[in-house]
Each structure stands twice: as C-alpha cells, then as structure tokens.
Amino acid sequence: MTYVGVCGPATAFTALTVGKQIDAVMMFEPMRTLCIATKSCSVGVDLLNGEGPPSVIALNGSAVSLVMRRETADGNPNLMAAFYAAMRDAITWANDPANFDELVKIYATHITFGDLPNAEALRREWLKTALAAYSRDLKVSRKAVGDTVKFFLDAKLLEKSVDTSRVIWDKAP
C-alpha cells in the first residue's frame, strides 16, 4: 500500500472516482456524503455511525481545535468570554432548523460541488451531517484528546507522551 496525499474531499473524490488514481480514501466530510449520494464509491467505515476500530472511535471529540497562545487566553478574560459567547450563539443559530436554508445559502458561497448532479441537495445533506458531528455545547472532550495522544504514541507518530493539560486551556468548557 502506498499513501498518497490528495488534499481535501474535492480532489480525493475526483482521484478516486474520475481519475481512478487511488483505490481508497480516508477523508473527512463531505467525502462520505459524496460517496453515498453519487453511488460512485462505497463507505467502508463510517465513524459518524459508530463504525470503526475502538482506537479511532475514541478520538471523537478531539478533532476540531480552536487554537490560541495560552498567554493570550489567560491575559484576556473578557475576550475569551466574548469568544465563547459568540461561538455558542453561532452553533445555536446553526442548529436551529428555522435557520437551515440561510445556513445553506451562506455555505453555497464558500463550498461548491461543481457540476455534480443535485449539487444543492448534496450541500444540504453534507451540512446536516456536519452539524450532527459537532458539539453543541463547545465542550472539549479531555478523554478524547488523551486517547488521541495514546493513538499517536501507539502509531509511533509521537516519541513521548503529551500532558493534555498543557494543550487544553483549563477554563475551556
């Protein structure tokens, strides 16, 4: 097996289904949505539905990071309070079904599905899936971060363990 960097879902999908340059993909959304909707590829392991090895499923809750220097976070409590308030407002708004059509319009200006048939339906399905995957309370899963460190140690991608308290802000939800 040879690992090939294919960038994001758009180039991965094309390399897999059109160019047939690769045989398999490990990729984030909307790759899953594209495969299911177009029936041009199969989803072998669906982590969103709890499929996959326990060591990989344990990583859920640690994948999306909001990164800031610790001295910035510690030195600006009003900024951090405003940041968390804005993020909570945004995720609450995005998860309100009354706002879904507007959310789709916003993403339409940033994410295209090119000339794929039913591109609008694909975008809608992808957004429904993506929303379900994110924490609504912005809670950081400290266990998942620890499991991620363990996964990388076991895979020999890290030489020594990482103290998760050094990478997770102590005031993070």
N- to C-terminal Cα distance for the chain?
A: 41
How far apart are the C-alpha atoms of 19 and 15, rounded to whole Å? 5
| 20 SS3 class | coil
pTM value is 0.71
**Tens-binned pLDDT, residue by residue, of the chain (173 aa):** 788 888 888 889 999 999 999 999 988 888 888 898 888 899 988 877 888 888 888 887 776 677 889 899 999 999 999 998 999 999 999 999 999 999 999 988 888 777 778 888 888 988 988 887 777 778 888 898 999 899 889 989 899 998 988 888 888 88
How far apart are the C-alpha atoms of 98 and 79, rounded to whole Å? 29
